[in-house]
Amino acid sequence: RGGERGGELRAGGVGVGVGPGAELWVSGLVLVYVLGVRGLVQVSLQQLLLSNSDNDNSSHFSAGRAREHLQHITELGPRPSGSPANEILTVNYLLEQVQKMKEGGGAAHQITVDVQRPTGSFSIDFLGGFGSYYDNISNVVVKLEPKHGAKHAVLANCHFDSVANSPGASDDAVSCAVMLEVLNSLSHLSTPLHHAVIFLFNGAEENVLQASHGFITQHPWAKLIRAFINLEAAGVGGKELVFQTGPENPWLVQAYVRAAKHPFASVVGQEIFQSGVIPADTDFRIYRDFGNIPGIDLAFIENGYIYHTKYDTADRISLDSIQRAGDNILAVLQYLATSVELADSKAYRHGTMVFFDVLGLFVVAYPARIGAIINYLVAAAAIVYLAKKFSVSKGLGCNYLKDLLYAIGITVICWFTIFFTILIVAVFVSLIGQSMSWYTHFYVSIVFYGSIALIKLILIHTLAKNLFYGRVNLLLLA
């Protein structure tokens, strides 16, 4: 049975031919939609906020004050573990700043500082697995707590060492600067926190997570910690992304959702990072595996081509970027340090979360089991829909099944063809010595790979239309 409606030939209710005008209209609509979404995402990524650098209120985070710390630390030059810049100059600067906060802080809290120099060893299943030994490395540990003391604590972690060839502004001096200013803000609160906040400025992360191991396995304050926030970088500036949480303990994600002023989070980052595809790791792993403590891992990810290079300088990090990071960290730490869950975190530990932000405006978070139920319902609805299509009549059901299998086949062919074509282009680009030429400019990757993928996609679908749907049209006309 066939008929003509609006210029479209139909067989059993299935469209098999579309006029060129309609095709152009649909293509234009899809293009506008894709470009619109891409534009919104780009605006969201670039949308920071006006910095609060001139704020005189000491209990509020000031990017200006944090910027002064960042400038001073990076002016010391590269700070690899064991160097005078790391072991002496940076440690002395941190101690001087903490001492000023002790003398000028409010009456609601007390600050205790300790310089730890641990020695130890551990094995880690990373880059094929290896053992690591460290001796007399430096940790500056600061505990802020109510005057009457505290039995539980939340940890904020950063590292002040850098790779040998870089001033390490983003990795990780800016995090140290943010933590110093957060410490200053919390110390001036008039209302005491319920729990302690421990700030760990660790001096040996780059030589594979040694200082955090020394702290969590040897420091007496480690037994107080019930959760942690780790500040890291895989780029320079921009927004700090929550890319890893847990293990389990969904209340931590909920705490971030409720407290963060400028949320930016994605469970996709967690899935990719924990899959092992990215050959990197953070102190998050040490606290999780050796301390059995849940936490939140954040990192700056923009301008990754500058990361671990001599160009990772303080001037490349904007005040806006520092302000939004500080606002978020201050709010989340303050929330955790007054939460009921922190005192009895084991009671809230079960379950994992699916989470993502919507253009940086708010975060959607729900239990993974709810996500599984949604996925099963969608799959069941698809099966019911297909079964209904197949049961119309024997002849039309068979035709629909053939069309469906043909469409799936075309899609699979597109995937594999595009994959192997891009792989060939990538090999060619590598052979001419330009394998990372796209990294500094995102749109170069679109020229290199996106345009080729689009051409392949159009070619395959055009051939499919002419060879398959054209034949169906002729049969219907006959």
Q: Among all residues, which ones are annotated catalytic? A: 205
Q: Which residues pair with 131 in a beta bridge?
A: 123
Residues with Cβ within 8 Å of residue 330, at least 6 apart in sequence: 61, 182, 185, 186
Residue whose tokens read 């049209």: 473
Secondary structure, 3-state, the chain: CEEEECCEEEECCEECCCCHHHHHHHHHHHHHHHHHHHHHHHHHHHCCCCCCCCCCCCCCCCHHHHHHHHHHHHHCCCCCCCCHHHHHHHHHHHHHHHHHHHHHCCCCEEEEEEEECCCEEEEECCCCCEEEEECCCCEEEEEEEECCCCCCEEEEEEECCCCCCCCCHHHHHHHHHHHHHHHHHHHCCCCCCCCEEEEEEECCCCCCCHHHHHHHHHCHHHHHEEEEEEEEECCCCCCEEEEEEECCCHHHHHHHHHHCCCCCEEHHHHHHHHHCCCCCCCHHHHHHHCCCCCEEEEEECCCHHHCCCCCCCHHHCCHHHHHHHHHHHHHHHHHHCCCHHHHCHHHHCCCCEEEEEECCCEEEEEEHHHHHHHHHHHHHHHHHHHHHHHCCCHHHHHHHHHHHHHHHHHHHHHHHHHHHHHHHHHHHHHHCCCCCCCCCCHHHHHHHHHHHHHHHHHHHHHHHHHHHHHHHHHHHHC
AA letter at 152:
H
Cα separation, 260 vs 317, whole angstroms: 21
* Count, residues in the chain: 478
Contact 303, 390 (CB under 8 A): no
Q: Which residues pair with 4 in a beta bridge?
A: 9
